[in-house]
Amino acid sequence: MGGAVAKENLPKALVPESKLEAKIVEAMQYRESEGTSLRSFNSIILKFPKIDSSLRKCKATFEQFDEDGNGVIDREELKHCLRDLKISFTDEEANDLFEACDIADDTGMKFSEFIVLLCLVYLLKQCPTDLHAKSRMGLPDLESTFETLVEAFVFLDKDHDGYVSRKEMVEAINETTSGGRSSGHIAMKRFEEMDWDRNGMVNFKEFLFAFTRWVGLDNDDEEDEE
């Protein structure tokens, strides 16, 4: 990651960049109003191996939707995928999702990006303002894993505004580790890794991308080129 130089320092943190992001924040805030059963940051860490293996099992699902087998899911394949999972998104919504998750800006989504996309879809489906709310995706294993990821975010976002701030991250870590200096330092490092656009706030999408990198989802069959 290269250190970008001239960055605007506008307080844009709470202004969602797109309609889709606004919806994700809204869905997260709704979900946060229900609370979380997680009690500590450590309990999140302890769940990592289980989440990791569950996501890896999803590789077969990815391959099933990668119809031409070129290793990425393109816009057409995504539409088929959403249709097969009975997720009734409009073409515009599907395209917004695709653009939000195809971060490498290639010809399609690789495995980790696809996982992020499915998890965002899962969250959006929880929101009662969504016309097709609470419909299931038909991927029970994955859905319980996504639920854990959502819960982890809810736990971190203490004031339930849909974003994890630097302060909330430090707070979450200090709660369980008696607040030594090194744990604070690790919290900050984790936060910097998550805050992709460096606006001082981590949204759910950034959180998910960071998570897939931590567990190394794409490392099995390709080298990370960064």
DSSP string, 91-157: HHHHHHHHHHH-TT-SSSB-HHHHHHHHHHHHHHTT-TTSTTTT---S-HHHHHHHHHHHHHHHHH-
* Residue 76 C-beta: closest distance to Ca ion, Å: 8
Q: Which is nearer to Ca ion, 74 or 147 (CB)?
A: 74
Q: Which is nearer to Ca ion, 48 or 196 (CB)?
A: 196
DSSP 69: -
Q: Which is nearer to Ca ion, 143 or 161 (CB)?
A: 161
Q: Which is nearer to Ca ion, 72 or 145 (CB)?
A: 72
Q: What is the DSSP letter of 164?
A: E
Q: Where on the chain is the footprint of Ca ion (CB under 5 A)?
A: 66, 68, 70, 157, 159, 161, 163, 195, 197, 199, 201
Nearer Cβ to Ca ion, position 145 or 205?
A: 205
As measured in angstroms, the least distance from the Cβ of 176 to Ca ion is 18
Compute the distance between CA of residue 215 and CA of residue 207 in angstroms, rounded to an integer: 12
Shortest reach from residue 205's CB to Ca ion, in Å: 9
**Three-state DSSP class for residue 191:** helix
CB of 4 vs Ca ion, minimal distance in Å: 13
Amino acid at 207: F
Least distance (Å) between residue 218 CB and Ca ion: 16
